[in-house]
Amino acid sequence: MDEWRKDARRDVVITDIDALVPEDHLLRKIEKVMDYDWLYERLDPYYNHEVGRPGTDPVVLIKMVLIQHLFGIPSLRQTYREIQVNIAYRWFLGYGLLENIPHFATVSYAFCKRFPPELGEEIFEHILNKAINHRMVDPREIYIDGTHIKASANKKKYQKEQVKKAAKVYEEQLRAEVNAEREALGKGPIEDDEDDDDDTHGGTVTKTVSTTDPDAGMFVKGEHEKQFAYEAHTACDRHGMVLGVEVTAGNIHDSVAWDKVYDKVTERFKEEAEFIVMDAGYKTAWIAKKVLEDGRIPILPYTRRNYKKDVFKSWEYEYDAGADSYICPEGKALRHTTTDREGKRTYRSTPSICRNCPSREACGANEKGQRQLTRHIWQEHLELAEALRKTERGKQIYARRKETIERVFADAKEKHAMRYTQHRGLARVTTWVRLKFAAMNLKKMAVWSWGKLCFPHVFWPFRTCMQKRAVLAP
């Protein structure tokens, strides 16, 4: 390197740190929209102002975590190192060039031991409320999906355990309707049996439990290798603003965790929420029933089924709702004979009639000459959801999943380091995920607000036009 270049490293320049941060830097935009007074008031009881040396400013510790999530820095240790040499980060924290930055262990201790455990959720809610107040949320279309996050757990260190199978939220309602049908059919009621070890009947189920992080769940998908993971069940609006998130073990099915996410989001947007858009993992009779009975429209994908050639398809059997029976292509009835504890009705044909039927091979009757079909007790809700999905409006809305919830997950993993977590335990991972989504919402809100402030003649007329087009869209 030239000698004069080496000398430039030792130049003494009189300036201030504010002049060294670009005017359009993301952190400047965030400072315009974020307020911290409520944090001081919220955290004041956790600091002793009379004894000992003054504690580190709690807002500084929270800002350090925001920097980590805003810029996708994998760990607090690396965040601490980046802040030491980054002028914009120091400006955001309010620290000069020669001041010592709070150690990453101080930040970690504050969030693990000192701050209240619900602080992460409160920060997320505060930022979301600001976005709502600035009219940056459009909850008419709510997109719900889940994404897996690799856990900090050795996949070779595990043990098999018998755990009680979790009860479904709709189990009591389903049981009452099933028993009412069974009584009408002359069948005995189905009772709860806590000693039943059948996995499908409540009882217990064998699960693979990590000895490193017991809260994580073994996750297997397609040809991917097995790994312990968590899953973030997330809801967002059509602009990609995250509206709610629930974190579970990675082996919890999407439809099981759906109720908490749905209830929380729709409770906030009771009047505005109109369409609930989900993928195939949520295509169950209960979800379709609950959304429809709430006066909303479920948008679920079309499920393509594989059928053998030269065999009658299920839709070729006509369901007679009045007689509660199926009519086969030959005009014969399949009677409703029983309903099981899962809510599946069984319809059977009469063997004496089917034995000599010319279409017996195409029908698929068993060796006794009997054909059997099943139908869920809430099947009509799924059929209505299927019909809504096939409309032009349903196709347009479902196609926007890749622009909304799927993009949220892609950005979270590629730009904000949510592909894997270094935290252990469901509570800590949940706080980590909520802070990450809070940072993403804050970033989106700051960029939009900056556009309104700096480019009102370009940014907001365009946005208003897009909003009008969204309202007028079929």
At 353-393, the pLDDT tens digits run 887 788 877 787 777 778 888 899 999 999 999 899 889 99
59 near 65, Cβ under 8 Å? Answer: no
- Output 296 or 219, whichever has higher pLDDT: 296
Q: Helices in 390-425 by DSSP H: which ranges?
A: 392-399, 405-414
**CB-based contact 136:239 (threshold 8 Å):** yes
Query: Residue 321 and residue 326: Cα distance in Å, rounded?
Result: 9
Percent of the chain at pLDDT above 70?
Answer: 87
Residue 367 near residue 361, CB atoms below 8 Å:
no
Residue 169 banded pLDDT, cuts 50, 70, 90: confident
Give the C-alpha separation, 386 to 314, whole Å: 15
**pLDDT tens digits, 425-436:** 999 999 999 999
Amino acid 468: pLDDT: 40
Distance CA 187, CA 183 (A): 5
Catalogue the long-range contacts made by 261-264 (C-beta closer than 8 Å, 24 or more residues apart): 261/144, 261/233, 261/234, 261/235, 262/144, 262/235, 262/290, 262/291
142-165+203-302+390-426 fold: Nucleotidyltransferase; domain 5 (3.30.420)
Residue that has been written with the tokens 């000698």 in this structure: 3
Question: Tens of pLDDT along 262-279?
Answer: 999 999 999 999 999 999
Q: Is 143 exposed, middle or buried (0-12, 13-18, 19+ CB in 10 A)?
A: buried
Residue 474 has pLDDT above 70, yes or no: no
Beta strands in 204-241 (DSSP E): 204-210, 217-219, 227-236
pLDDT bracket for residue 192 (50, 70, 90): low
* Whether the predicted pLDDT of 401 surpasses 90: yes
Residues of the chain with CATH 3.30.420: 142-165+203-302+390-426
| Mean residue pLDDT across the chain | 86
Task: Tell me how far apart the alpha carbons of residues 323 and 340 are, in angstroms, rounded to a whole number.
Answer: 19
The confidence score (pLDDT) of residue 52 equals: 64
Q: Cα separation of 458 and 429, whole Å?
A: 40
Check: pTM over 0.85? Answer yes or no.
Answer: yes
The model's confidence at residue 323, banded by pLDDT at 50, 70 and 90, is confident
Q: Does 199 score more than 80 pLDDT?
A: no
Residue 307's pLDDT is: 66
| The pLDDT value given to residue 222 | 65
Q: Which residue has the tokens 């073994």?
A: 218
Write down the pLDDT at residue 332. 85
Model confidence at 187: pLDDT above 90: no
Write out the H or E segment, with its range, that includes residue 341: none
Task: Give the dihedral sign, CA 9/12/16/20.
Answer: negative
Candidates 242, 231, 303; CA nearest to 268 is 242
